[in-house]
Amino acid sequence: MKNEEMLKRLGSRFLNNSEIQQNQKSSKNSLDSFKSGTTTVALACKDAVILGTDKRASMAYFVASKTSKKLHRIQDHLWMTIAGSVADAQYLVDIIRAETSLYQLEREKPILVKSAAKVLSNILFNNKLFPYEVGLILGGVTEEEGPTIFNVGALGSLLPEKYCAVGSGQNYSYGILESKFKDDLSIDEGKEIITAAVRSSIIRDIASGNGIEYVVVKESGPAEKEFISIKEK
């Protein structure tokens, strides 16, 4: 059954006042009261991409985890941050990791960042009637593209960026990113900006916290991953 047909069936006038329909509305309202929050940021340096996140997973005022994993390796040269529904995001991480691995096995070369982002965008767009509740940042470095970042929206939007932030604390992070970003940043300068951006959100957003994790992704070689306690200055 197509998604459109499912919507028509759910919208039947015989169901509008039924107990089933009322239960569905009640369930939706209950789910809407549990809003998750996070802070994820990324920027492009001269020779690398740096992605950073906080470590807190929350539902409204409930802290579900203080060690949440929001940075995910897709391939050695390609990483992704996740925000929103954890289950949806983890499923998408598995899918895009599998798709990019198959591509590289067949062609024996690293997949372009824009190609991986397009695959992810197609998956999200094809499910837009029942969307994945996610906000994603995909970043990586290839010889053809250089340092590349895409902000991937829940409905499949694909926005190339030099820097971006996603999550409940994004507005606070943007204040740092917009004031300090410049072209041809060194990796050390990028680390300082990412750390300051996430820390700015942790200070002001109750849904963000419990430390800062970032990863430096280069064209070749292992990514450099580090955790910083929020008590460190």
3-class DSSP assignment, residue 182: coil
Rounded CA-CA distance 56/85 in Å is 13
* Alpha carbon 75 to chain centroid, angstroms: 16
Closest CA to 201 of 153, 162, 167, 163: 167
Is 81 marked active-site?
A: no
Q: Give 225's strand partners.
A: 215
Give me the amino acid identity at 132. Y
Q: How many residues does the chain have?
A: 233
Token output for 212: 């800062």
Closest CA to 42 of 179, 116, 138: 138
Cite the active site residues: 38
